[in-house]
Structure 1
Amino acid sequence: MLNLDRLRTLQAVARHGSVSAAADGLHVTTSAVSQQLAKLERETGQQLLAKNGRGVRLTDAGRLLADHASRILSQVELAQADLEAQRGQAVGELSLGAFPTAARGLLPAALVRLRAEHPQLRAKLEELEPDEAVPAVMRGDLDLAVVLDWYNKPLPMPDGLVKAALLDDPADVAMPAGHPLADRDQVELEEFADDEWVSWPKGEFCHDWLMLTLRGAGIEPRICHMAEEHHTQLALIAAGLGVAVAPRLGRGPIPDGVRVVPVRHTMRRHIYAIWRADADRRPSIRAALDALRASAAEHRAAEDAA
């Protein structure tokens, strides 16, 4: 009997082109990938990988099994979707992922709605950045994820995923209350060319976006501090240690000593849900999407009333 986890590992090697890239995509060690593939070779009695310079390549048998693995894993997802669709109810478990400010600003209300409207559905949330959530959905660790991209930097989206827009989230510039621009109604990014910046950590999608956007405005950014949590960034700004981009979703109360000012040419994050195309018929996916849309609508209404 072929093991589904090992088939998923082989499929990842075929998709990413190397053991190390597959390990990154699966968020495991290269040793774990190699062990899974070795076990799969013993199960099948076939050599699935061959050395290719410093790397490896799939043998003919490996490519053949990887093709079957894609169809098998897709069929497993379809079987689950069909069973749910036949029952017509959102039941069982549903694993959700969301980046931090969405986990704080959208998911609580959505999860409460799901629990009230679908009491037999057990939804579980994991906080993940978009570059972690996308591969997690692809490999089946998550059923649905809330991710983001920016108006000028799309998030790469693999084939086989479906996405639905939830809302656009404007972002302001947060600065110390004593900053010369703190009392303005609007600002331009170019006006912060001489400021020190508080950023997301290196390697995160939003950090890369910030570098791209500031350099596009003719600013070579001086990054003084990096923090993942927006609340930490705002605390640093309240202490007078720099300025930052501050999206509104999940931002919460602004600390004393901080002012947030809109940018004249509005910066926006596009926030949407993603799931696998072969899970599209699952009532639990539809239920989660309805709950997220309702939560997004409530957030927009609160923003308009503010």
Structure 2
Amino acid sequence: MPPPPARVPDLTALSLLVAIARTGNVGTAAHEVGLSVQAATARLRTVEQQVGAPVVERERRGRRAGRLTSRGVLLVEWAGPVLDAAADLDAVVAALRPARPGEQPIVLAAGPTAAEGLLPAWLVELRDGPGGQIVLLDTDDPAAAVRAGDATLGIVETVEPLEGLHATTVDTDTLVLVVAPDHPWAGGSGVDAAELVATPLVTRRPGAGTRASVEAALTAAAPDVRAPAPLREVAADTAVRAAVRAGEGPAVLPRRAVTGDLAAGNLAEVPVHGADLGREFRAVWKEGSSPQGTARDLLRIATGGRIR
């Protein structure tokens, strides 16, 4: 992985520049973002050191005026997507925080794959729409958490019957085999399920939904082939992609997780013959109950406006 970028201003500094662009006054902008004028001036000085040129115009006496330079204007324009992404990340991070005394959030149980691939967009839409507080219970068995009363809702990836639970489909996805562009499999006609089972892979850690789905699909396709130990086990799809790009070995990942890398040519997709790599995500809640309030709002978002 490349090191963190060294010349990117921090989020507070970027928010300060956006506020200056809107208000035309450094003092007013500083107040909006919760800084003193002295602290705001220090932030601007740091940004200018990173950019290598002034981002706010100066008056004759050297004081900063409330106008951005042409570089400052460009920086504000380019910073917009970064600040939007940070605001969305804030909505997701809020779900990781435990409830404080007196709060009664909805507890949502989900495995790492659903938490990484599905929840961010849902939580942002919930924040920007009806509102409500969600606390995430990270678990390898969301269905058990709902049955035990530890969670109001769960997101499961199994196609097996779910005793004692209502279930509705919230998403489908296909798992795809990916390799580095210079891998021997890249550009070929593909591999069959038995060859893939016999090949060490870069995988998620045990318990992750993606890994369980891959293992179940390949076992069903080639039950007589014994799988070797993984090449490497990592915690997130992002880390799996990085390892594959670095040439460590092949991996099977959700298509949504590799779309960007495939389009950019950073990864190559390899067809897999003889295995069903489709999967389904379902939301579950206790049989005999009806989701209310924030739980119902989240279900409506997850199902595209309806609960089946």
TM-score range, shorter chain: 0.5 to 0.7
Question: Are the aligned partners of 1:236 and 1:242 in contact in 2 as well (CA < 8 Å)?
Answer: yes
Q: 1:1-306, aligned counterparts within 5 Å?
A: 93-119=105-131, 121-126=132-137, 128-131=138-141, 133-149=142-158, 154-155=159-160, 157-159=162-164, 161-184=165-188, 187-192=191-196, 195-202=199-206, 204=208, 206-215=210-219, 216-217=221-222, 218-222=224-228, 223-251=230-258, 253-254=260-261, 257-264=266-273, 265-294=275-304
SS at 1:101 equivalent: helix
Give the Å deviation of 1:129: 4.0
Unaligned runs of 5+ in 2: 1-102
* Structure with bigger RCO (C-alpha 8 Å, 6+ apart): 1
SS at 2:269 equivalent: strand
Q: CA 1:219 to 1:254, structure 2 compared with 1: closer, same or farther past 3 Å?
A: farther
Q: CA 1:293 to 1:190, structure 2 compared with 1: closer, same or farther past 3 Å?
A: same
Cα distance between partner residues in 1 of 2:212 and 2:282 = 19
Q: TM-score normalised to the size of structure 2?
A: 0.54
Q: CA 1:263 to 1:168, structure 2 compared with 1: closer, same or farther past 3 Å?
A: farther
SS at 1:112 equivalent: helix
Cα distance between partner residues in 2 of 1:248 and 1:107 = 16
SS at 2:108 equivalent: strand
SS at 2:185 equivalent: coil
Question: Are the aligned partners of 1:197 and 1:242 in contact in 2 as well (CA < 8 Å)?
Answer: yes
Paired residue for 1:84?
none
Aligned residues: 198
Cα distance between partner residues in 2 of 1:211 and 1:277 = 29
Query: Percent sequence identity over matched residues?
Result: 26
Task: Looking at secondary structure, tell me which structure has more strand per residue.
Answer: 1
Give the Å deviation of 1:268: 1.1
Q: CA 1:252 to 1:107, structure 2 compared with 1: closer, same or farther past 3 Å?
A: farther
Cα distance between partner residues in 2 of 1:204 and 1:103 = 10
Q: TM-score normalised to the size of structure 1?
A: 0.55
RMSD (CA atoms): 3.2
Per-residue CA deviation, residues 16-63 of structure 1 (Å, 9 max, x unaligned), is: xxxxxxxxxxxxxxxxxxxxxxxxxxxxxxxxxxxxxxxxxxxxxxxx
SS at 1:190 equivalent: helix
Question: Are the aligned partners of 1:211 and 1:221 in contact in 2 as well (CA < 8 Å)?
Answer: no
Give the Å deviation of 1:289: 0.8
Per-residue CA deviation, residues 264-284 of structure 1 (Å, 9 max, x unaligned), is: 554112111111124315243
Unaligned runs of 5+ in 1: 1-90, 297-306
